[in-house]
Amino acid sequence: MCGIIGINSNKPVSGTIINSLKKLEYRGYDSAGIATLSSGQINEVKSEGRVDNLEKNSLVQNMNGTIGIGHVRWATHGLPNSINAHPHSSQNVSVVHNGIIENSTLLKKFLVGKGHKFKSQTDTEVIVHLITENLKTEDIVNSIKKTLKALHGSFALGIIFKDHPDLIIGARRGSPLAVGYGPNENYLGSDSYALKSMTNKITYLNDGEFCVIKKDHVEFFDEEGVKVNKKVLELSSEEKKYDKGDYKHFMAKEIEEQPTTLKNGIKEYLDNSNNDINIYNFPWKVNEISSITLIGCGTAYHSCLMAKYWFEELTSLDVNIDIASEFRYRKNRFKSDTLYVFVSQSGETADTYAALDLCNRNNMKTCSVVNVIESSIARDSKFVLPIHCGTEIGVASTKAFVGQMLILYILALKLGLMRKDIEKEIFLEKLKDLKKLPELVKETLLTDNKIQTISSTFNEAKGSMFLGRGFSYPIALEGALKLKELSYIHAEGYPAGEMKHGPLALIEEGMPVVVLAPRDNYYKKTISNMQEVIARGAKVLLITNKSKDEIVSENIWETIEVETANDDLLPFLLTIPLQKLAYYSALKKGYDIDKPRNLAKSVTVE
């Protein structure tokens, strides 16, 4: 969470670092900073808030130096102000850090005892002083090795040195880090997105590795300081460029891209000539799997919850779902006939990665559904199902959610067929329906104007609720999450049938309540639950699908009708108006839609 950039060049670097930091802002945006080496010393400039503030600082505009590091911060230790902003520097060393140093208090005590003076409240500053201390007795590689060994926790680091003006050190444990290669210059970045505008040649550091970046070459070392050879990967040209185009926000663009996301996913996994699903090289036989556990965080967890309904419907597998931050610390009963599926857009979420790692260490069957295929989760799972939805920049996940659901649905269908849990005819019928989905999503995206008007009522309310049953319940949770993270409005998702067991007490006159009631098996029951909230004064926004049957209920405040599809696919369509509701509500409030407060895109800390 926090973004890192480093450039070693023969041209001045501050402008390029600032531009790269702007690209990295989705990882953290409460403060930013830059340090370069010039005239034999480390110069550091930091600002609270966005990179724009840093850029306007006259000190940055006059910054020289052909080697430098930059950082955007998502605060963990210490307030988000300019003192706690990175880089943190001593006279000799300057450090940018992503992650958390768990033994920082102990290390600080030791370093204060040695006479080191601390300026900030951060855990990162101990790294600066520890390297400074170790450099008194060790050469550069050994001082880094010794420092990293003393650190507990997770980190990606970029480091420059007053006395070694020709190099940048990068180091990784837990948090991702990449090296990029350019003409007479080389780069360090916390992900390939930041480096893409400069190069398409990338190397990812593995856990425990560190590197020495010079202008003309890069050397990699394992945690023992032994040199390792690494592959240079070439990013596709499509991956190199991703911008907002004519859209006001990435989120708006990403919502509109969803028909394409679905089309691409379907194209990748559906074998039209054989009317089948291609899950190439699935490494296990179906009779080796009798249960499935799906694990993720936030929106990705909601797609796991959605998948539970599909897997139960289409297969006879036992299905469990888990929130990664809970799974990783529980006493799990690992079973060799369970398929563990890790769902993540970024593929770098620390909790999801730790859950995967735990399963790998217990020799389990691990599979991931990820968007970033070069990510740690993708690289370390035994089988990967890429989402293929392209770069997602908006912090609130939209197209990746739809992409995750698609892949999980496809997997459920395929396993259902392979296990003979569903008949071939049903499978073929469902494939046929699935092919129509992108077009149906495209049509549903047209319900714009009404949602813009409706969003004002949500903005005026103290709080809101999102209700659904069955297939619509995970979507209710996702709708509530989108509204709260973008508009900062209290929003809760509930199974509609649970309301009477407590939450109904929250309903008061005029409270906006979204009821998801498509015409599926749960329709009548959900409509009864809707009447219970209307009777208590709620302003109900009913979201259902188009049908010739009239809705038999009075006093519904507003109704939105999405397109019609088979029951399995309705969740995709119900998602669209909820994404738009959150978007317009935040737009009207004037909030920063692509970068909601306190959040970051890639959560690489626990």
By CB under 6 A, residue 344 contacts ligand F6R: yes
Q: How far apart are CA 308 and CA 466, in angstroms?
A: 20
Closest approach, Cβ 385 to ligand F6R, in A, equals: 14
**269 by DSSP, 3-state: which?**
helix
What is the arrangement of strands in the sheet containing 178-182, beginning at the earlier edge strand?
41-48, 31-38, 67-73, 3-8, 185-189, 178-182, 201-204, 233-234
User: Contacts with ligand F6R in 524-553 (CB under 6 A)?
Assistant: none
- Residue 74: in which H helix or E strand, if any? none
By CB under 6 A, residue 444 contacts ligand F6R: no
Spatial contact of 186 and 8, defined as CB atoms under 8 Å apart? yes
Q: How far apart are CA 8 and CA 3, in angstroms?
A: 17
Supply angle C-alpha 321, 322, 328, rounded to 5.
Answer: 145
Closest approach, Cβ 382 to ligand F6R, in A, equals: 18
Segment contacting ligand F6R by CB under 6 A, of 124-132, 143-151, 298-306, 512-520: 298-306
SS (H, E, C) 29-68: CCEEEEEEEECCEEEEEEEECCHHHHHHCHHHHCCCCCEE
Spatial contact of 24 and 72, defined as CB atoms under 8 Å apart? yes
User: Contacts with ligand F6R in 348-377 (CB under 6 A)?
Assistant: 349, 352
Local structure of residue 495 (DSSP, 8 states): E
By CB under 6 A, residue 485 contacts ligand F6R: yes
Active site residues: 2, 601
Nearer Cβ to ligand F6R (395/496): 395
Nearer Cβ to ligand F6R (297/354): 297
Nearer Cβ to ligand F6R (289/355): 355
Nearer Cβ to ligand F6R (481/534): 481
Closest approach, Cβ 210 to ligand F6R, in A, equals: 25
Nearer Cβ to ligand F6R (27/430): 27
Closest approach, Cβ 41 to ligand F6R, in A, equals: 39
User: Residues binding ligand F6R: what is the number (CB under 6 A)?
Assistant: 14
Segment contacting ligand F6R by CB under 6 A, of 113-121, 339-347, 459-467, 560-568: 339-347
Segment contacting ligand F6R by CB under 6 A, of 140-148, 338-346, 444-452, 560-568: 338-346
By CB under 6 A, residue 345 contacts ligand F6R: yes
Nearer Cβ to ligand F6R (2/213): 2
By CB under 6 A, residue 25 contacts ligand F6R: no
**90 by DSSP, 3-state: which?**
coil
Task: Tell me the β-bridge partners of 93.
Answer: 161
Q: What count of Cα atoms within 13 Å lies in the side-chain half-sphere of residue 150?
A: 21
Task: Tell me the β-bridge partners of 36.
Answer: 43, 68
Q: Which residue is nearest to ligand F6R (CB)?
A: 298
Amino acid at 220: F
Q: Which two tokens stand for residue 445?
A: 């995206």
Percent helix, strand, coil in the chain, to 5, is 40, 25, 35
Q: How far apart are CA 31 and CA 21, in angstroms?
A: 11
By CB under 6 A, residue 30 contacts ligand F6R: no
Amino acid at 1: M
Spatial contact of 351 and 606, defined as CB atoms under 8 Å apart? yes
Nearer Cβ to ligand F6R (512/596): 596
Q: How far apart are CA 230 and CA 209, in angstroms?
A: 11
Closest approach, Cβ 172 to ligand F6R, in A, equals: 18
By CB under 6 A, residue 603 contacts ligand F6R: yes
Closest approach, Cβ 528 to ligand F6R, in A, equals: 31
Amino acid at 333: R
Of the candidate residues 131, 396, 507, 581, the single one contacting ligand F6R (CB under 6 A): 396
Using CB under 6 A, list all residues that contact ligand F6R.
297-300, 344-346, 349, 352, 396-397, 481, 485, 603
